[in-house]
Amino acid sequence: MDPGDLQATPALHRLADDHPNESRRAAGRVLRRSRRAYLSPGKTHLVRSSDDGETWRAPEIIRDSPLDDRDAGIIETARGTLLVSWFSATSFESNPDYRDYGATLTAETREQYLGNWVLRSEDGGRTWGEPIRVNASAPHGPVQLRDGRILYLGVGRLDDERTIVAEESTDD
């Protein structure tokens, strides 16, 4: 693989207790995905800029499951589809401030929300489809190769063992 086939955008603006990832779009528009605080039941926010990151609109919550949604990444594909990736965990249970909350979660809730996910938007993030369960998880999400394929390298489980996995999508 030619290293020039990959594109990524590093986080440009970082705030205290923030874990951001950004995607640059056309005409100076920037989408910034963030999650405030680290060990708490997290939400994934989307923040928009139309002036190359000089000013930002108010955050929009795009994912808020009963679990700890964290390490989200965002990319915009060549066709304009936005992909947000994240994993949901119960890490907050080791934090005494959230132990009682963790005790309220049923086995069914854990089964439904625990894991690695991707969310798609085909209208610039105004609306989002249903979460899609994936095997990989990496803090900044997948990348799009020049030939249009989406490649997602990250940590996942195969045969009940934690390992590095690669997933590929050919349909944007």
109-127 pLDDT, tens per residue?
A: 999 999 999 999 999 899 9
The pLDDT assigned to 21 comes to: 54
Distance of CA 52 to the CA centre of its chain: 21
Number of domains forming the structure of the chain: 1
Q: 28-37, 50-59, 108-117, 130-139: which has the minimum mean pLDDT?
A: 28-37
Is 26 part of any domain?
yes
Local confidence band at 36 (pLDDT 50, 70, 90 cut-offs): very low
Residue 11: pLDDT over 60: no
Is 66 part of any domain?
yes
Threshold 0.85, pTM exceeds: no
Helices (H), the chain: 99-103, 107-113
Q: 65-69, 90-94, 116-120: which has the minimum mean pLDDT?
A: 90-94
The pLDDT assigned to 13 comes to: 40
Is 53 part of any domain?
yes
Closest CA to 142 of 154, 155, 156, 152: 152
Is 5 part of any domain?
no
Q: CA dihedral defined by 156, 116, 90, 105, rounded to 10 degrees?
A: -130
Residue 23: pLDDT over 80: no
The CATH number for 160's domain is: 2.120.10.10
Percent of the chain past pLDDT 70, that is, above it, reads 76
Is 37 part of any domain?
yes
The pLDDT assigned to 130 comes to: 96
Both tokens of 98, joined, read 């959230």
pLDDT mean across residues, the chain: 80
- CA atoms of 65 and 70, how far apart (whole Å): 11
Question: Residues 129, 120: contact at Cβ < 8 Å?
Answer: yes
Question: Residues 30, 52: contact at Cβ < 8 Å?
Answer: yes
Is 114 part of any domain?
yes
- CA atoms of 137 and 153, how far apart (whole Å): 7
More confident residue, 14 or 152: 152
Is 12 part of any domain?
no
The pLDDT assigned to 61 comes to: 87
Is 6 part of any domain?
no
Q: Which domain holds residue 162?
A: 17-169
The pLDDT assigned to 105 comes to: 92
